[in-house]
Amino acid sequence: MTDVRPPPLPDGQWSRQDAVVDAHRLDRSGWQPEGRPLGVAFAHSADDVRAVLRHASRYGIPVTVRGAGTGLAGGAAAPDGALILDLHRMNHIRELSRTDQVAVVEPGVITDDLDRAARAVGLTYAPDPASSAISTIGGNIATNAGGLRCAKYGVTRESVLGLEVVLADGEIIRTGQRSVKGVAGYDLTSLFVGSEGTLGVVVGATLRLRPAPVGTVTLAAFFDSFGTAVDAVTGIAAAGIVVAMAELLDGPTVRAVDAATGGNLALRGETLLLVQTDGPGAGREGDAAEEILRGSARDVQRSADERTTRQLLAARRAALPSLERLGRVLIEDIAVPRSQLARAAARVAEIGADTGVQIFTIAHAADGNLHPIIVVGRPDVDGPGSGSAAIPAAAWYAAERIFRTALELGGTVTGEHGIGVLKRQWLGTELGETNLHLQRRLRRVFDPAGILAPGHGP
Amino acid sequence: MTDVRPPPLPDGQWSRQDAVVDAHRLDRSGWQPEGRPLGVAFAHSADDVRAVLRHASRYGIPVTVRGAGTGLAGGAAAPDGALILDLHRMNHIRELSRTDQVAVVEPGVITDDLDRAARAVGLTYAPDPASSAISTIGGNIATNAGGLRCAKYGVTRESVLGLEVVLADGEIIRTGQRSVKGVAGYDLTSLFVGSEGTLGVVVGATLRLRPAPVGTVTLAAFFDSFGTAVDAVTGIAAAGIVVAMAELLDGPTVRAVDAATGGNLALRGETLLLVQTDGPGAGREGDAAEEILRGSARDVQRSADERTTRQLLAARRAALPSLERLGRVLIEDIAVPRSQLARAAARVAEIGADTGVQIFTIAHAADGNLHPIIVVGRPDVDGPGSGSAAIPAAAWYAAERIFRTALELGGTVTGEHGIGVLKRQWLGTELGETNLHLQRRLRRVFDPAGILAPGHGP
């Protein structure tokens, strides 16, 4: 371990203690870098972030930025010698304007906390990654997080109007604006969104809020096959209905939920589709969607009240915990054009059969985003999160075939989780060499010394 | 005039004739650069574009890219010695997928033509710049064009999923994807959108289509003052209603429309507000909006049929032609937070009174985008479009005060038209020096030889 000066921070905001470092060195990807990070800097303000980055630039120290550590691609897994810059204490909602329908927040604000504050004045923060109860806005911005409602409300990028960003050398810039429109200069806001900590550190964000949706209608439909369910989603879109949510659980997932909860959903069908409409047309859209679903589903249940809705959505919420009982889960994240969704799911099932690897598929059907979930080992034997070394070769091979499938079907190897470390080798394949090299040159403009997000990004 | 080799294009795709050059050297900004462009290259394909840019790179020839030349910021006004690269013949809709709700198009496609093709299968291309009948998708992308429906459907960027771009050196890259989600690498798509021809030449675009909205309700409300009308728009938003359109015409504009059309709208109120709701909740939202409008308006008219709707919207359509009868129009384009809209309009009126310059204001109220329209000279005396030299100093001074107002109120000097040449001196003021220099370095990554969009951009 090299002997380095501590970053110039107030007392108590820098630690090299093993317990502190260990508590801040990983994310939820399961990725465990070799070696040992340098220490953890806790920023309380943009000035703290500037001080840390100036220090890191000066001494050439690699920096891994961290919010809540809920990322699934290894973006916050700190490698050997890295300074961990933790932003979770920068968690103030600086402003929430009803008239402008914007919030100005620090990066450590928990996504659901912002949404709750917005709802108190009749608004909502629309992006809803599954981790919203625990993930931070800064992390959502770093990964351009998606969620369940993106087909209607867009991904995180569509809700970010402007940013305050500290660059690698400690300089600070503002991007974007507070209005919906604004075209002065390049759209650096969108460039920072999804850049996974490689271009700068977001220390403030101006976010778009929307009116809180009213009159939700939820439909749970059971189908004989995944393909029939996808056809129903296509039919709903073709009827001009923009659903707020269209979640698909394949047969293996439904059965795993049954096994975990003691339920018998699988008796009602091989695939479960949960559709939600919202807004002033929710009732009418719900009626039209229900009619389409009844055309091919074995069973359709409808709810417009909160309690029944919660019951209908329970299976979706139970899916991941149910799979985690079976072993260690690797959540893949591909997106394909909607027309290729059924084919992608069928290929994933084939890959599971071919490789002997257990794969369960959940999909955000309306935007073509599939999460094939690979389950390996057994938690009672291997322990949970037992490190990348514990993942059998067959699982890696299955994952690679899943990525290849996504690209063959005109899709992407990551719809909403990010490239991180885990998919880095696929970036060039998806983007092409010219694009990849352009991205590398672009990165160097922002971070000439290469201190940000070591080992990640293009 | 320098003697240069012609770009390697098939016969008939390169011209240096005066008549051809003159027909392609300007846009609708009124900006007239000194000197004479080199000639016009007509590209029919991406390969033609690559050949031209390779040639231009090799010989260091500046390139001005052009679609339909409808830009309002001087982006397609070609300076001395520039090669004009005209893309209007690349006007094929390559694909239109109902299931994926995407279109793949060439840059020269006219915006309305795409929308018409989409509507034939129940879809729509949502961005609707006022120039949509004559402007091209490529130009819309270059400027990140806005329009009337942006508060609900977003600006051009929100409808661009992916691009094919020829870089300055002739290399071609693809960005983005065909699905709504996708986070592999930096968001170069958004970086190219709005980059005004400075980073590369878009030769193909994958665009998001949406279900064509049904059941439009249109409301025309007359108010005693601009401020009261803005308050009504704020009230509608506060009630959770997302309008498809909220167009404001101030008193001077209403009177100009009356004078041009022989109407008497001004008798009904000092400010006209046109509100439209659409989609499955249009009726319910229209009811709620109408009730709010009736609370403070002098007069409210409602329509749900096409003929009456057209009548109600006629005043908006007539506004610009009515002003053009009064003299040469300079359409300014600022955007401010919604809460500052009334203040911005009041300041613009003050600026007009102070400087003695005639200023008329139209606003896309739901997204805070104002178009103060400066009218100078008289077309019967000065002739229309009589060159920047003919604009009196008082008009420039008024424009500068308008820009300053936008920035003072937390807004931007350009909401949707672009920086172009005309607002270039304001870019640093709005962005700050650090951001501006970052953008300059970034530009050099894409175009090291500096051949694209000479004299424009950061």
Residues of A in contact with B185 (CB under 8 A): 419, 427, 430-431, 435-436, 439, 458
Tell me if A244 sits within 8 A of A216, measured CB to CB.
yes
Tell me if B363 sits within 8 A of B345, measured CB to CB.
yes
- Token pair recorded at residue A145: 């997080």
Query: CB of B405 within 8 Å of any CB in chain A?
Result: no
C-alpha separations of B330 from A41, B28, B147 in Å: 53, 10, 18
Rounded CA-CA distance A215/A221 in Å is 20
Rounded CA-CA distance B104/B93 in Å is 6
* Helix intervals (H) in B60-144: 111-119, 137-143
pLDDT at B381: 56
| CA distance from start to end of chain A | 28
Closest by CA to B58, choosing from B128, B131, B112, B7, is B7
Rounded CA-CA distance A340/B178 in Å is 11
Give, for B439, the enclosing helix (H) or strand (E): helix B433-446
Rounded CA-CA distance A332/A398 in Å is 10
Rounded CA-CA distance A74/A330 in Å is 12
Alpha carbon of A112: minimum distance to chain B alpha carbons (Å): 20
Q: Which residues pair with A237 in a beta bridge?
A: none
- Token pair recorded at residue B222: 């007359």
Rounded CA-CA distance B50/B340 in Å is 46
pLDDT at A380: 54
Give, for A281, the enclosing helix (H) or strand (E): none
C-alpha separations of B227 from A138, A177, B236, B320 in Å: 37, 23, 14, 22
Rounded CA-CA distance B163/B202 in Å is 7
C-alpha separations of B341 from A183, B221, B266, B290, B368 in Å: 18, 18, 22, 21, 6
Query: Looking at residues A340-349, what average pLDDT do you find?
Result: 97
Predicted structure pTM score: 0.95
Average pLDDT across each block of 10 residues of chain B; the chain has 458 residues. List them in order. 78 96 93 94 98 97 97 93 98 97 98 98 95 96 94 94 98 93 95 97 98 92 97 95 96 97 95 96 96 98 92 92 92 95 97 97 95 82 51 92 96 93 90 96 96 92
Inter-helix orientation angle A306-324/A251-261, to 10°? 100
Query: CB of B32 within 8 Å of any CB in chain A?
Result: no
Rounded CA-CA distance A366/A245 in Å is 7
Q: Residue A357: exposed, middle, or buried by beta-carbon count in 10 A (0-12, 13-18, 19+)?
A: buried
Which residues numbered 345-384 in B keep a CB inside 8 Å of some CB on A? 364, 367-369
Flag whether pLDDT at A431 surpasses 50: yes
Query: CB of B282 within 8 Å of any CB in chain A?
Result: yes
Alpha carbon of B137: minimum distance to chain A alpha carbons (Å): 17
Radius of gyration of chain B (CA): 22
pLDDT at A225: 96
The DSSP code sequence of A85-147 is EE-TT---EEEEETTTTEEEE-TT-BHHHHHHHHHTTTEE-----TTTTT-BHHHHHHHT---
Give, for A346, the enclosing helix (H) or strand (E): helix A341-355
The DSSP code sequence of B154-211 is --GGGGEEEEEEE-TTS-EEEEE-SSS---SS--HHHHHTT-TTSS-EEEEEEEE-EE
> If pLDDT is split at 50, 70 and 90, which confidence band does A379 have?
low
A186 contacts B186? CB cut-off 8 A: no
Helix (H, G, I), strand (E, B) or coil at B386: coil
Closest by CA to A412, choosing from B449, B176, B157, B201, is B176
pLDDT at A385: 46
Helix (H, G, I), strand (E, B) or coil at A421: coil
Tell me if A47 sits within 8 A of A39, measured CB to CB.
no
- Token pair recorded at residue B420: 């172009």
B411 contacts A184? CB cut-off 8 A: no
Residue among A185, A238, A416 whose CB faces B439 most closely: A185
B412 contacts A184? CB cut-off 8 A: yes
Rounded CA-CA distance A110/A90 in Å is 10
Residue among A101, A173, A284 whose CB faces B438 most closely: A173
B335 contacts A179? CB cut-off 8 A: yes
Flag whether pLDDT at A389 surpasses 80: no
CA quadruple A40, A46, A49, A50: dihedral, nearest 10: -160
Residue identified by tokens 């931007």 is B412
Residues of B in contact with A335 (CB under 8 A): 177, 179-182
Give, for A167, the enclosing helix (H) or strand (E): none
Rounded CA-CA distance A11/B267 in Å is 69
B281 contacts A284? CB cut-off 8 A: yes
Rounded CA-CA distance B311/B304 in Å is 12
Pairing between β-strand A123-124 and β-strand A63-66 as defined by DSSP bridges:
unpaired
Tell me if A204 sits within 8 A of A105, measured CB to CB.
yes
Residues 6 or more apart in contact with residue B133 via CB below 8 angstroms:
B110, B111, B112
pLDDT at A386: 43
Tell me if A105 sits within 8 A of A205, measured CB to CB.
yes
Position B14, amino acid: W
Rounded CA-CA distance B102/A314 in Å is 33
Q: Which residues pair with A93 in a beta bridge?
A: A105
Which residue does chain B place closest to A164, by CA atoms?
A: B435
Query: CB of A240 within 8 Å of any CB in chain B?
Result: yes
CA quadruple B432, B436, B439, B443: dihedral, nearest 10: 170
A377 or B420, higher pLDDT:
B420
Helix (H, G, I), strand (E, B) or coil at B256: helix
Number of H helices, E strands in chain A: 15, 19
* Helix intervals (H) in B101-159: 111-119, 137-143, 150-153
pLDDT at B441: 97
